[in-house]
Amino acid sequence: MTAPPFVIFGLPRSRTAWLTQWLRLASGGARIGHDLAIEADTIDGWLENVYRRVRGTCETGAVEAWPILRQAIPDCRIVTVHRDVTDVAGALLLAGAPAPMDDLNRRAMALQELSEQPGVVSISFAGLADPRLCADLQEHCLSVPFNWQAWRCMETCNVQVDMPTRLARLAERADAIAALKAEIAERLVTPRPFVTVGEERWVDVADACEALGRVHHVEATENREGQFKLNREAMDTLNRNGMMRAFIARVNSEVAGYCAWTHHISIDADMLPTMLQGAFYIAPQFAGHRLGIRLLRVSRETLSADGYKVLKPHHTMHGRGCRAGALYRYLGAEESSREYIWRI
């Protein structure tokens, strides 16, 4: 199973750049970010990066968003690194960067508040020199035993942010960062769910999809095709052979819908690379998030990038399936066939 992402929060000049490099090495080269919030235009954009695009990230300016992160990705592994604010300010000034004390004190208070939450691992700046504490930190973040070789390789390395480049980028992104801070403040007062859609490994979502499939089966068939019984063996075989792809919609990490595709093999034509749509369903309680159209668009973008030229969606004639044809046509699909059941 894929381990959940991690986020390490700390103040600037707290060895977060070193942590990024060390954990990247300890993980065998996984993609680990550093200050992703600087490049994010929205809080959902930052959360999307954390959830889908990196193994984890080290952040020096985003700690005040921790309540949003914990709601959006409840199983996210979190670490806080604590350094005296006066020392942080001195290190910033020495590096040629401003040291806004009000901002640093506010972030330090948020770090302390977060460190008191259940499941959070906290470590002092000085503690980063202790391999025993770093072993706990690494195992918490990566869910793998301590990589002693990686630690020995990195323990004496002095990893520094290119401060002139960083300051220039902060200046370029000043308006976007101000807007992001305003959005964080607004969402702390008025929370809203984090909605994300993307391809996921079948092994990671099989149980959740089967549970949702029981509800889907009743709506899609009105119990005219027997009781629900997912053939997990067949699904696992298709997955192992690279014949099936699963696209998942989540709301605050809960599986809210799915769209499966299987590779189509024609026995009577030299077809363009084609995928057949399998199960496509959104749980009714999540209907207001437009997850169906997002699942289809992400499916098309991803499968197109992988060389597929044709997608063949379908729909049932029961429940909300009756309306799916209009959605397909809206997205540019053309009706090509009709299927019938002839009971004997």
Residue 322 pLDDT > 90: no
Residue 223 pLDDT > 80: no
Q: The CATH number of the domain where 148 resides is what?
A: 3.40.50
Helix residue ranges, H only, the chain: 16-26, 43-48, 66-72, 85-94, 101-115, 131-142, 148-154, 163-172, 174-189, 202-221, 232-240, 291-305, 324-330
Q: Are residues 199 and 97 in the same domain?
A: no
Q: Are residues 182 and 223 in the same domain?
A: no
Q: Which residue has the higher pLDDT, 288 or 15?
A: 15
Residue 334 pLDDT > 80: yes
Q: Are residues 11 and 147 in the same domain?
A: yes
Q: Are residues 131 and 157 in the same domain?
A: yes
Residue 1 pLDDT > 80: no
Residue 234 to residues 218, 250, 316, 336: CA-CA distances in angstroms? 21, 25, 22, 27
Q: Are residues 202 and 316 in the same domain?
A: yes
**pTM (2 d.p.):** 0.92
Residue 319 pLDDT > 90: no
Residue 196 pLDDT > 90: yes
What integer is the mean pLDDT of 110-122? Answer: 97
Q: Which of 202, 192, 328, 334 is nearest to 258 (CA)?
A: 202
What integer is the mean pLDDT of 245-266? Answer: 96
Residue 80 forms part of a structural domain: yes
Q: The CATH number of the domain where 229 resides is what?
A: 3.40.630.30
Domain span at residue 238?
195-330
Q: Which residues have CB under 8 Å from 326's CB, separation 6+?
A: none
| Element spanning 254, H or E | strand 254-263
Q: So what's the pLDDT on residue 222?
A: 82
| Total number of residues shown for the chain | 344
What integer is the mean pLDDT of 310-337? Answer: 91
pLDDT in tens, 260-272: 999 998 888 888 9
Are the C-beta atoms of residues 43 and 68 closer than 8 Å to each other?
yes
Q: So what's the pLDDT on residue 318?
A: 84
What integer is the mean pLDDT of 148-165? Answer: 95
Q: Are residues 21 and 70 in the same domain?
A: yes
In the three-class reduction of DSSP (H, G, I as helix; E, B as strand; rest coil), residue 192 is classed as coil
Residue 338 forms part of a structural domain: no
Q: Are residues 147 and 208 in the same domain?
A: no
What integer is the mean pLDDT of 179-205? Answer: 96
State the pLDDT confidence band at 257, using cuts at 50, 70 and 90: very high
Residue 339 forms part of a structural domain: no
Task: Return the minimum-mean-pLDDT range out of 138-142, 261-265, 323-327.
Answer: 323-327
Residue 196 β-bridge partners: 250
pLDDT in tens, 37-79: 999 999 999 999 999 999 999 999 999 999 999 999 999 999 9
Q: So what's the pLDDT on residue 321?
A: 87
Residue 39 forms part of a structural domain: yes
Residue 341 forms part of a structural domain: no
Residue 224 pLDDT > 90: no
Q: What is the mean pLDDT of the chain?
A: 95
What integer is the mean pLDDT of 238-246? Answer: 94
Residue 60 to residues 83, 112, 117, 184, 315: CA-CA distances in angstroms? 12, 14, 19, 15, 47
The last residue of a domain, from among 164, 189, 214: 189
Q: So what's the pLDDT on residue 337?
A: 86
Q: What percent of the chain has pLDDT over 70?
A: 100
Number of domains in the chain: 2
Q: Give the CA angle between residues 255, 39, 252 to the nearest 5°.
A: 15
Residue 36 forms part of a structural domain: yes
Rounded Cα gap, residues 115 and 96, in angstroms: 29
Roughly how many angstroms between the first and final C-alpha of the chain, as a whole number? 44
Residue 221 pLDDT > 90: no
Are the C-beta atoms of residues 7 and 50 closer than 8 Å to each other?
yes
Q: Are residues 15 and 163 in the same domain?
A: yes
Are the C-beta atoms of residues 61 and 37 closer than 8 Å to each other?
yes
Q: So what's the pLDDT on residue 330?
A: 93
The last residue of a domain, from among 161, 189, 217: 189
The last residue of a domain, from among 189, 210, 242: 189
Q: So what's the pLDDT on residue 226?
A: 85
295 Cα distance to chain centroid: 15
Q: Are residues 118 and 66 in the same domain?
A: yes
What integer is the mean pLDDT of 243-264? Answer: 96
Pairing of strands 274-282, 254-263: antiparallel
Q: So what's the pLDDT on residue 38?
A: 97
119 Cα distance to chain centroid: 19
In the three-class reduction of DSSP (H, G, I as helix; E, B as strand; rest coil), residue 99 is classed as coil
Are the C-beta atoms of residues 249 and 264 closer than 8 Å to each other?
no
> Sheet containing 254-263: which strands, arranged edge to edge?
195-200, 244-251, 254-263, 274-282, 310-312
Q: Are residues 174 and 203 in the same domain?
A: no
Q: So what's the pLDDT on residue 316?
A: 87
pLDDT in tens, 10-35: 999 999 999 999 999 999 999 999 99
Q: Are residues 117 and 167 in the same domain?
A: yes
Structure tokens at 165: 């480049």
Q: Give the CA angle between residues 123, 60, 183 to the nearest 5°.
A: 125
What integer is the mean pLDDT of 266-279? Answer: 91
* Positive/negative CA dihedral, 177, 179, 181, 183: negative
Q: Are residues 294 and 206 in the same domain?
A: yes
What integer is the mean pLDDT of 129-135? Answer: 96
Residue 340 forms part of a structural domain: no
Residue 336 forms part of a structural domain: no
